[in-house]
Amino acid sequence: MTPEAEDEGNEEPTDKKRPVIVDTNALMMQFQYYLELESELQRVMPGAFRVVVPEAVLEELERLMEENEGKKAEEARLAIELAHTFEVTESEKGGDEAIIELASKMEDAVVVTNDKLLRARLRAKGIPNVHMRSKAFLSVEGFPGV
């Protein structure tokens, strides 16, 4: 067995990892607040996970980049680059609806968002969420035992 094949055998299959769905503001917070998203998720998430970006989020980031100038446009551009390092998934709907639909379809999904309205809708559906606290770190809500 090659070392590469050996390493691959030690990794947990992607479909066994908990899906962590990120919205637009979750991707942008890395550049707005200098919060390393993946490291913070590793700190607060129990077990293995994979970050999932709905296509609708990419579309919203592209709109933000085109419609804005300066810092906001640059943050959107960087967020698009970050999004492409994760798993991008098709979404039939747009905006929050795409996130809720995807989270409802994926087993054990968690959503990362700072949007209060979206968090309330997720809470009503029993979907856990991760959000920013004190503009410095992530916090988990609705996770059994966390």
Architecture of the CATH domain 23-141? 3-Layer(aba) Sandwich (3.40)
Tens digit of pLDDT for each residue in 59-101? 999 999 999 999 999 999 999 999 999 999 998 899 999 999 9
48: confidence class by pLDDT, cuts 50, 70, 90: very high
Q: Going by DSSP bridges, is the β-strand pair 137-141/129-133 parallel, antiparallel, or unpaired? A: antiparallel
Strand-pair partners of 19: 50
> What pTM does this model have?
0.86
Token duo for residue 145: 């035992």
Determine phi and psi for 55, rounding to 5 degrees: -55, -35
Flag whether pLDDT at 58 surpasses 90: yes
Mean pLDDT, residues 8-37 taken together: 84
Domain ranges of the chain: 23-141
Flag whether pLDDT at 45 surpasses 70: yes
Strand-pair partners of 137: 133
